[in-house]
Amino acid sequence: MTTLSIFNQNQPEQPQTVTEDAGEIQRLLADKGIRFEQWPTRDLPEDVTQETILDAYEAEVAALKRECGFQTADVISLNPDNPQKDALRQKFLDEHVHSEDEVRFFVRGQGLFYLHLDDQVFAVLCQKNDLISVPDGTRHWFDMGPEPRFTCIRLFSNPEGWVANFTGEDIASRLPRYEKLAGAA
């Protein structure tokens, strides 16, 4: 189940707020300028190709491209048997920003987005059906967990794809990781 945990950055041991109500999650994130939606998903086999996934969500992706000016879309998929899973997890675990919105739609599985907004950190455990759009310049990081299992459609304004500028702050190391927050969901 999708969960939002809100932490004070100076007291990261326990969240101040936890909710599993999708409408409340959407409202709380919208108040901070974060787009969150739940789309209907298609029943697709686990070994489906990127092209089939993009074809299945063609209308939704095209609408987002028109609305937000995205140029490209692709699919990222990761399973626990991937030999690079630890390196890939580590790549996204440090706080960073982008010069474009980071948009992910979860076709399968789950992952945890941390959004560092003012003096709070919003940890959004995204699940199948969830779309999250992190605005450009928003400090954030992503934790896929030690045994990742997810498939996401990604949209980009920059045809080069994912380009991060790391902040150098250690905030990500002070918050509970995926293992604790996803286990509580």
- Cβ atoms within 10 A of the Cβ of 90, count? 9
Opening angle at CA 50, ends 137 and 77, nearest 5: 60
Q: Does the annotation flag 116 for ligand binding?
A: no
Using CA atoms, how far apart are residues 32 and 37, in angstroms rounded to an integer? 14
How many H-runs (helices) and E-runs (strands) does the chain carry? 6, 11
- Cβ atoms within 10 A of the Cβ of 3, count? 21
Q: Does the annotation flag 98 for ligand binding?
A: yes
Q: Report the candidate in 113, 108, 133 with the shortest Cα–Cα distance to residue 41.
A: 108
Using CA atoms, how far apart are residues 56 and 23, in angstroms rounded to an integer? 25
Mark the binding-site residues for Fe(2+), compressed into ranges.
96, 98, 102, 140
Mark the binding-site residues for Ni(2+), compressed into ranges.
96, 98, 102, 140
Mark the binding-site residues, compressed into ranges.
96, 98, 102, 140
